[in-house]
Amino acid sequence: MRIVNLTEETKKDLLDSLLKRSPNNYDTYTIAVNEIVNNVRTYGDKALYDYTLEFDKVDITSENLVVTEEEIAEACVTAEKSGIMQIIRKSAENIRIYHEKQRQYSWFDSKPDGSILGQKITALSKVGVYVPGGKAAYPSSVLMNIIPAKVAGVEQIIMTTPPGKDGKVNPGTLAAAHIAGCDKIYKAGGAQAIAALAFGTDTIPKVDKIVGPGNIFVALAKKAVFGFVSIDSIAGPSEILVLADETANPRYVAADLLSQAEHDEMASAILVTTSSELGKKVSEEVNRFAAELSRKEIIEKSLENYGYILVAENMEQAVDAVNEIASEHLEIMTKNPFDIMTKIKNAGAIFLGEYSSEPLGDYFAGPNHVLPTNGTAKFFSALSVDDFIKKSSIISYSREALAEVYKDIEKFAESEHLTAHANSVKVRFE
């Protein structure tokens, strides 16, 4: 990995490089995605079937679009035999327990003058969950997207995922959807699936919100339908940043950097450290590990493009850089990680100490692994129960309560030249 001294110039160069990975910069795909979205909106299921045959090489019809109970049962048996089913159950329970702590409830506050203010919490009616297929089969993402929606009380959760060339869906994906409590699963992928969820077809119902990861076509399709439905975010490639001092174990740091570099050639893996000696050792360990790992070519390309070891003069400079980069995953491996954590403002998920490696969050601990990328951790949060609810304000005033303030409201409205607003309160006291 390249080792550079952390300066304002190197930090700016790094940020410019990372921002190029944003889906917002891939305009060359936008025209194709918009065409797919518009065709599905216009022609519904027919366009969906045509695109599935073109892109996934599978002949899908109304007869086999929906995943059957038999297919789910078969997938669960396969998952049980492989030993993954029990692990999925344990992970699902951890995720459920964590997200139940995020639940919000309606509240009301009454005063002696007869006024009542409050907030009504309502779960979304229908949510669509997109799940990648083919080589990118991630049962963990199924759990992370469906369980918060279930905890929130969403009435119907619909999942779409592209079928393999055999017309089947990955067994681990189906088993996870079953455990998480998905209501309906459709064999549809890509931008065409996003469009079907956003506008509805004869077979696939229109949803209120679409969540879930996907490739650039999926990301741009979600961007295109935003406003017709809500979406979780437009996710970019995965990223990890490790903040470490001289006490960190270079072997652990290297292993954790590679855990994200293997995702994608555009994934970023960054070490920010106050120790140049640690930086050199981590670089050596990265080379040793990379030579042995199965996704060696992807890792090497990722590190070549977006792998950095930044050596800071002190911890204050290092923390400033961390907050500027605002990484999806942040590991803190310092002498006192909890103290450093209090100074962190921007990160999707924060992992403290040398035994809290990033895959713990990906699979098992419970917090959501759907996280903001490309610096959006400065203003976005992890997927949560909040993403699946709406909040309505409640206002109730008695005549006595309104009498105390109606003159103020009338004057305020008149100052904005909204005389009908003013009249609306004045008429009650004529």
Instruction: Quote the longest CA-to-CA distance of the chain.
Output: 85
Gap between the Cα atoms of 422 and 415, Å rounded: 10
Q: Are 237 and 266 a contacting pair, CB within 8 Å?
A: yes
* Active-site residue list: 328-329
* pLDDT at 24 (0 to 100): 67
Give the gyration radius of the chain's Cα atoms: 25
The predicted-structure confidence for 311-334, as pLDDT tens digits, reads as follows 999 999 999 999 999 999 999 999
Binning pLDDT at 50, 70 and 90, where does residue 14 land?
A: confident
Q: Are 47 and 55 a contacting pair, CB within 8 Å?
A: no
In this prediction, residues 172-190 reach a mean pLDDT of 97
Average pLDDT of every residue of the chain: 94
Tokens of 91: 């992970």
Residues 6+ apart with CB under 8 A from 411: 422
* pLDDT at 342 (0 to 100): 97
Residue 336 per-residue DSSP state: S
Say if pTM beats, i.e. exceeds, 0.75: yes
* Spatial CA neighbour of 326 closest among 18, 20, 26: 18
* pLDDT at 27 (0 to 100): 72
What is the distance in angstroms between the CA of the first residue and the CA of the last residue of the chain?
A: 78
* pLDDT at 19 (0 to 100): 76
DSSP string over 111-137: -TTS-EEEEEEEE-SEEEEE---TT--
The 3-state DSSP class for residue 393 equals strand
Instruction: Compute the Cα dihedral for 150, 156, 162, 165 and give only its sign.
Output: positive
Say yes or no to pLDDT of 260 above 70: yes
Residues 6+ apart with CB under 8 A from 85: 76, 79, 175, 179
In this prediction, residues 27-35 reach a mean pLDDT of 89
Q: Are 214 and 130 a contacting pair, CB within 8 Å?
A: yes
The predicted-structure confidence for 128-158, as pLDDT tens digits, reads as follows 999 998 666 789 999 999 999 999 999 999 9
- Give percent above pLDDT 90 in the chain: 85
